[in-house]
Amino acid sequence: MRLRSEIILFFLLISVIPLSIVAYISYDHSREAISDSVMATLLGATENTGNAIDNWMGARKNDIRVVSQSKVVVCIDKKQLHEYFGSFQNEYRGVYREFFILDLNGSIIFSTLDRKGNAGSEQYFKEAANGKLFVSDPYLSESSSSSEMIIANPVKNNGTITGILAARVSLENLYRIIENIDIGKSGEVFIVNKDGNIVFNKNRSMILLLNIDNNYAVKEVTYEKNGIGEYVNYKGEKVLGSYYWLPLYRWGLIVEEKIDEAYSGVLTLGQLMVTVSILAVICVVFLALVISRRLTEPIKSLENGALGLVKGDFKPIPVSSTNEIGRLTEIFNQTATELLFMRKKLEDRIELANIDLEEKNRELTQANDELKKLDEMKSEFISLVSHELKTPLSTIKVSAEYLESDDKADPVERKEILRIIIRNIDRQTRMINEILDLSKMQAGKMEFQIENVDIGETVKVVLENIGRLALKKNIAISLDIPESLPDVLADKEKLIIVLNNLAGNALKFTPDGGRIVISAKDLGDSVEVRMKDTGIGIEKEKLEKIFDKFYQVDGTSRRKIGGCGLGLSIASGIIRAHGSEIQVESEPGSGSIFSFRLKKA
């Protein structure tokens, strides 16, 4: 580390560390106080909301208790009841949607909406018939599609239950009261029932239609727990939430506020602390820079001089003082001049030696690379040729020994054995011819007789060569070559070799019962020849290697048919000699397409 950096670091350590400790302690205490205040505010909002719900619901229950004991209700005079309940509904506009009275059988004997029916199986009837005031769970009204509940209370005459008074109560007024409670910009209040269904939310379309029982606060409050904490809500937002169980209505009250807004005071405090700390650090750094510069400038001059000496670009250092550093500078200038002279002589000798050494090293490396490549190719060639020659030779030998040992062999069987011998001799001949063709091609000695060639006739020659093997494997070969297709400029015999190799490859890797399509089409300035098969396909990473010498695609078919991996390499070389390239498209299990273009005659 540089001396100046060490001085600056020293100033930073003795000032910034104590400042950071003080700032952190202050921030930590303030953060706790702000967090406690935020939680207290949220709990206060939850308590206010709960009180508002209790007050409103208490008022509704008291209304029903009072009305159920009214003489008008006990006497059941329908005209008086309509007037009485009409004035009551007008007074509490929008709160009560219907008042109705039921007899002890559950039949509706009066309704402000003149509704008839029987509610003997309803929970509110059963509870009220047992002498209890009952508040139902909220539900969506069929007529208004908004949430409401039923409050029912027994009607008594001289202490005897004579009927049931019930009221359909709209919850919209209660919702508006809850929405007016201040819970911050991002705050949200919602109420859920014991099943986790939303009973209240500012988005009315969610009420009683959305279940959020997988929310942390909902799980806690539906287990009748109260508390506050940080969690991810049903919207996927990180919030600070307070939850409170309202046992009288079987509701869970949840008040949430986004973490960013809830702890905005903490964030502001943190930003202030960071700003103050940065300003303090800037002041300390500025002071350290001024002091360190006065201390290190003379030493920096010596350092620059030493660097110039190392690079061979030394200039005498000006002596700016008469103290110890000034005298050291004079000695350094004298020594540097002598060292530069000696260095120049040594560099000249080393440069000459390096030039000679680099040239020899380059020659050795090139020779070594060529030897390695030749050795690899030799090993690969010997291995492949040994394998491909050994197999047919073994077959020929076994067949010949059989013919020699059995003079009375069946003529048909002898003929078949002779065909096996001939087929294996042909196989050896093909392989030797491939090796000779490749050798000629690499040596540039392969001759080409360019002439006008009919693609259709050439393909028919290839079909005659591979037809028997295709028939044996039950592989269908079809042609798609227009009769009006123009001739191409090519060496016909070499073109037959290319098509034989491509077709032979297609037969090798196409399972029995497959299909091969040979097609050609006019592209304007050239003719494209395509060979498509339904074979096993080639993996993407092997497509670039299939035209390399001796390369064979892995697969079970390869070992059944044999070959030394020269066919595609020879075919590719022949097509390149015609000024084109063989293109291949393939996917494992989807077959392969080989294509190339030739100039039109």
Weakest-pLDDT range from 79-88, 394-403, 466-475: 394-403
Instruction: Specify the long-range contacts of residues 89-92, CB closer than 8 Å, at least 24 apart.
Output: 92/63
How far is CA 497 from each of CA 428, 455, 485, 535, rounded to the nearest angstrom? 16, 13, 21, 21
Domain segments of the chain as ranges: 69-173, 447-599
Where is 96: in which H helix or E strand?
strand 96-102
Residue 518: helix, strand or coil by DSSP? strand
Q: What is the pLDDT confidence band of residue 555, given thresholds at 50, 70 and 90? A: very low
User: pLDDT higher for 100 or 392?
Assistant: 100
Of 56-60, 368-372, 381-385, 564-568, which one has max mean pLDDT? 56-60
Select the CATH number that applies to the domain covering 447-599 from these four: 3.40.50.300, 3.20.20.10, 3.30.565.10, 3.40.190.10. 3.30.565.10
Weakest-pLDDT range from 137-146, 275-284, 485-494: 275-284
Q: How large is the average pLDDT for residues 37-63?
A: 86
User: pLDDT higher for 311 or 590?
Assistant: 590
Which tokens sit at 579?
């000024």
Name the nearest CA neighbour of 100 among 279, 89, 552.
89
Residue 111: helix, strand or coil by DSSP? strand
* Radius of gyration, alpha carbons of the chain: 50
Q: How large is the average pLDDT for residues 567-579?
A: 84
How far is CA 36 from each of CA 29, 31, 232, 345, rounded to the nearest angstrom? 11, 8, 20, 79
Weakest-pLDDT range from 265-269, 502-506, 551-555: 551-555
Q: How large is the average pLDDT for residues 231-249?
A: 87
| Helix count and strand count (H, E) for the chain | 14, 18
Sign of CA dihedral 430, 432, 435, 440: negative
Check if the beta carbon of residue 240 is closer than 8 Å to that of residue 36: no
Inform me whether the pLDDT recorded for 117 exceeds 70.
Answer: yes
C-alpha 168, offset from chain centre: 53
Inform me whether the pLDDT recorded for 557 exceeds 50.
Answer: no
User: pLDDT higher for 189 or 312?
Assistant: 189
Inform me whether the pLDDT recorded for 18 exceeds 90.
Answer: no
Q: What's the CA gap between 596 and 537, in Å, rounded? A: 18
* Model confidence pLDDT, tens digit, residues 71-83: 888 877 888 888 8
Inform me whether the pLDDT recorded for 527 exceeds 50.
Answer: yes
Residue 527 has φ and ψ, to the nearest 5°, of -120, 130
Q: What is the pLDDT confidence band of residue 445, given thresholds at 50, 70 and 90? A: low
Predicted model pTM: 0.42
Inform me whether the pLDDT recorded for 560 exceeds 50.
Answer: no
Q: What is the pLDDT confidence band of residue 554, given thresholds at 50, 70 and 90? A: low
Average pLDDT, the chain: 80
Inform me whether the pLDDT recorded for 463 exceeds 80.
Answer: yes
Structure confidence at residue 174 (pLDDT): 86
* Model confidence pLDDT, tens digit, residues 532-543: 999 998 888 887
| CATH fold group of domain 69-173 | Beta-Lactamase (3.30.450)
How far is CA 31 from each of CA 28, 267, 337, rounded to the nearest angstrom? 5, 9, 65
Which tokens sit at 442?
């690499």
Which tokens sit at 322?
């008469």
* Model confidence pLDDT, tens digit, residues 316-362: 777 766 766 667 777 777 777 777 777 777 778 888 888 888 888 88
